[in-house]
Chain A
Amino acid sequence: MTLLTAPRPDTLRTEELLVNMGPQHPSTHGVLRLVVRTDGEIVREAWPQIGFLHRCFEKVAESVTYAQVTPYCDRMDYLASMNNGLAWCLAVERLGGIEVPERAAYLRVMMAELNRIASHLLAFGTYALDLGAFTPFLYGFRERELILSIFEKISGGRLLYHYPRLGGVARDLTPELAGEIRAFIAQMRRAWPEYNELLSENQIFIKRTANVGVIPAAMAVAYGLTGPCLRGSGVKFDLRRAKPYSLYERFDFDIPVGEGIKGEVGDCWDRYWVRMREIIESLRIIEQALDGLPEGEIQTKVSRTLKLPAGEVYVPCENPRGESGYYLISDGKTSPLRVKARGPSFNNLSITHALVRDVLIADVVAIVGSIDIVLGEVDR
């Protein structure tokens, strides 16, 4: 009866276990699979396995016309479909030398920023959900629904919009809708402190995220991190400022970076906090866009069977998750020779293996959640 005798330290045996997290797991944000090597509660190593949502975007893009690619781009990062559609249109427009009316560029900026807020709100809600808090999820969706109803009125869709079109945008802004956007800005400003009371300053939340998953700036750059993940590590790099597109150079906004308020610079809390502050900055941009919205056309004429001159182009854009862009090669036909999509989540996720070393299982959830991935653009 060896089991009944008290184990002596020298006969105690521990074993490392390989465990699968996902692809169906409540906190992996989609179909991500993490293979983790655990020693008790400690995760020694984690290998992300991806491709469960590989929808062959790049092959599809080679087989359809330029205009038809746009809705597929919406489905890449489906939480920021305005931004993705915009990135594609910018690439095609630059290679084709298509001029976009100023009013359309302003509308694009406005919608892209609204979508950034919607995306950050969802990140806020799901991150809290990952860490075991349900209420923030409901709060986040409350304001997000306001944005969705604005989007619905201007594009007809709640989630996937197909709003930026080659050479312009699909529909114009009506005065009533402008009023609705202003009302949203006011509501969001009212709700923001509530969010912070609820989550940002919550002691449990801080304990779970501060000093967890620290990414030093050099490491962030080496792994090609962009967006809030890079800025959370204190690197002030934002493509809207560094390589302005769609008239972003006309707007005044700050670039929030991680400052290590609750722990070390580059921890999960910093990444979270960068997102929260970006919401406020986006509100400022939207306000400026509403105030300065020029009159005029919203669409230049673009042929349905557009042929681009032979050449290649890559226009990086700042999406809610980081640098997103389409590397487009044309050989003069009606569909591209090659489209390579750069999704920020793909690069951001690739740091997981280096980051998750000797941490608690609960921290793995906190770390992966703070990277805020969307599997649609990881797997494409």
Chain B
Amino acid sequence: MTPQEIHARLTERFGDAIGPWTEPERGDPHIAVAPGSLHAVCAFLRDDPELKFDYLQLISGVDWTDRLSSVYHLMSLSHGHGVVLRVDLERGNPRVASVADLWPTADWHEREAWDLLGIVYEGHPGLRRILLPEDWEGHPLRKDYAAPAAYHGVTNA
């Protein structure tokens, strides 16, 4: 199925929770999903026999300076098609449901997005920092992040 057909299936099923289809001039299209419906949409994508997205490639957090997003690249090994989902989140309070129960691989990806961008994945089995040390301050991939002058006595300048 093409991403547009998948978009049509999702709209038919979830209505307003799915954003309108836009075909980009260049690059990959994506489907916007309302944060509240993300988990249901993902479960549907994974379990529907015609869609069968069994493989989560990656989850990426993005900082657009006015909002954050969590982006999901999905692929179906059995059907060979793929789709990109994006949920837009408030910058002040970025919360979205975790999909680690659907695809275990999401566990580490979500921890990374929390670590580097501060996105909270609700229902995640253990949302801790993964790359940076536990006592690190701030989320470095936020656009307004400033590197610390020193960490534990080792200067950075």
Q: When A and B assemble into the complex, do they touch directly, with CB atoms less than 8 Å apart?
A: yes
Residues of A within 8 A of B (CB): 50-51, 54, 56, 58-59, 62, 94-97, 221-224, 235, 237, 242, 309, 311-314, 316, 323, 325, 327, 329, 337-338, 340, 342, 346-347, 350, 354, 379-380
| A residues in contact with B77, CB < 8 Å | 221, 235, 237
| B residues in contact with A338, CB < 8 Å | 60, 62-63, 141
Interface size on B, residues (CB 8 A): 34
Least distance between A220 CB and chain B CB atoms (Å):
10
Residue pairs across A and B with Cβ atoms less than 8 A apart, 24 shown, are A51-B130, A51-B131, A94-B26, A96-B26, A224-B57, A224-B105, A312-B27, A313-B28, A314-B57, A314-B73, A314-B84, A325-B58, A327-B58, A327-B73, A337-B64, A338-B62, A340-B61, A342-B58, A346-B108, A347-B105, A350-B104, A350-B105, A354-B104, A379-B131
A94 and B27 form a contact (CB under 8 A): yes
B27 and A95 form a contact (CB under 8 A): yes
Least distance between B63 CB and chain A CB atoms (Å):
7
| A237-B77, A379-B131 known; A329+B57 contact, CB < 8 A | no
Residues of B within 8 A of A (CB): 24-28, 30, 54-58, 60-64, 71, 73, 77, 80, 84, 103-105, 107-108, 116, 129-133, 140-141
| A residues in contact with B57, CB < 8 Å | 224, 314, 316, 323, 325, 342
Give the docked Cα–Cα distance between A350 and B105 (Å): 7
| A residues in contact with B130, CB < 8 Å | 50-51
| B residues in contact with A51, CB < 8 Å | 129-133
Give the docked Cα–Cα distance between A111 and B30 (Å): 33
| A50-B130, A346-B108, A347-B105 known; A221+B54 contact, CB < 8 A | yes
A312 and B28 form a contact (CB under 8 A): yes
